[in-house]
Structure 1
Amino acid sequence: MKLSAATVLAAQAVVGQEALHLDAQRWDDWLALFTDDVQFWVPAWTDEHTLGASPESELSLVYITARAGLEDRVWRVRSGLSVASTVLPRTCHQVTNCVVAPASEGELRVESSWSCHQVRLKDRSQHVFFGRYEHRLREVDGQWRIAGKKVVLLNDVIPTMLDFYCI
């Protein structure tokens, strides 16, 4: 099935909007991009070259199975109860090489490369996370929404905390 240019641009725009909402800390706008049944997964590497294949049976850095779980993460950041997230770092996501392909009926798959530069004012440190995204988009009421997000973190030796806003 060949996708129209408008569909490809719309899918790429969702991925770009997600990154911008994270950087601007527009949490409600970010959450609005996700379906209620979203699966948000950051698998762990099982060895130097093998990525975990199953979030149910292998270790994951992050595994959230519904939008309510993402809402809980946002609540912790907003509440100030997350010590690791106080003070929030400044972030700059860059998403490139977006390739859009049809998935199942009414869904698209968007694969891309990403990096997130962050500066942590608390300890005056800087860090860059980078890797690949695999977004699964579903059409809901005429709009593309994120039904799945897999974050392949290539530099998983993490010198600082890791949360949704820096990957």
Structure 2
Amino acid sequence: MTTQTAAPSTTYDACAAFLFAEAEYLDDRRFTDWLACLSEDLVYEVPVRLTRSLTESGSDFSTRGFHMRENYETMRMRVARLSTEHAYAEDPPSRTMRQVSNVRVAMRGVNEASVKSKFLMYRSRGADTTYDLLAGERRDVLREMADGWKLVRREVLLAHTTIPTLNLAVFL
């Protein structure tokens, strides 16, 4: 178990700036810039949310079922595919707007921080007047490296038990 201590304001500011820049890269479809924010030992998971009664104990999220379970290499392949004619789920491309809030930062060691944040993502496509809203919490580990902060781990805990979108071809 990693001991966590309160993050100094400079680390909090750097981690919040990282999340805001990441949202901008994704909303602006600057996927190569976004990929540069990821550590090569990345673990990126979106577990399935479970419905439990008040009397049941345990996590609200599956440890075996995932909407997404990715690493750096699979993310690199997904980004590369987006620039080809084979990205069918993103043709036409999604228009997204991400809101990131409630950022909380704790130190995990000298150069790593645990970062929790809430997010809301609006997504629309083509000329369709309908849209998707995805909401949840992200539990990240960021590492300060020579070329800046990098995302090492992301666990996305969606508020939804059923995802309100036809596909999950966007990055959360």
TM-score, L = length of structure 2: 0.86
Aligned identity (percent) is 25
Structure (1/2) with the larger strand percentage: 2
Tell me which residue corresponds to 1:70: 75
For 1:75 and 1:126, the matched residues in 2 are separated by 26
3-state SS in 2 of match to 1:125:
coil
SS in 2 for 1:70: helix
Q: Does 1:44 align with 2:48?
A: yes
Letter in 2 for 1:103: R
Matched, 1:80 2:85: yes
Indicate the structure with greater helix content. 1
Whichever residue aligns with residue 7 of structure 1, its letter is T
Task: Work out the CA distance in 2 between the residues paired with 1:110 and 1:134.
Answer: 6
CA contact (8 A) 2:113 2:142 kept: yes
Structure 1: 5+ residue stretches without partners: none
Distance 1:37 1:69 in 2: 11
**Runs of 4 or more above 4 Å deviation:** none
Partner of 2:166: 160
Q: Structure 1 length normalisation: TM-score?
A: 0.89
What residue number does 1:96 align with? 101
> Alpha carbons of 1:160 and 1:15: their partners in 2 closer, same or farther (altered >3 Å)?
same
Distance across 1 between alignment mates of 2:131 and 2:108: 37
Q: Which amino acid aligns with 2:117?
A: S
CA deviation after TM superposition for structure 1 residue 86, in Å: 0.9
Gaps of 5+ in 2: 53-58
Calculate the aligned-residue CA RMSD, in Å: 1.7
From the CA coordinates, give the structure whose radius of gyration is larger: 2
Contact residue 137 and residue 147 of structure 1 kept, 8 A: yes
**CA distance in structure 1 between the partners assigned to 2:44 and 2:6 by the alignment:** 27
Q: Secondary structure at the match of 1:155?
A: coil
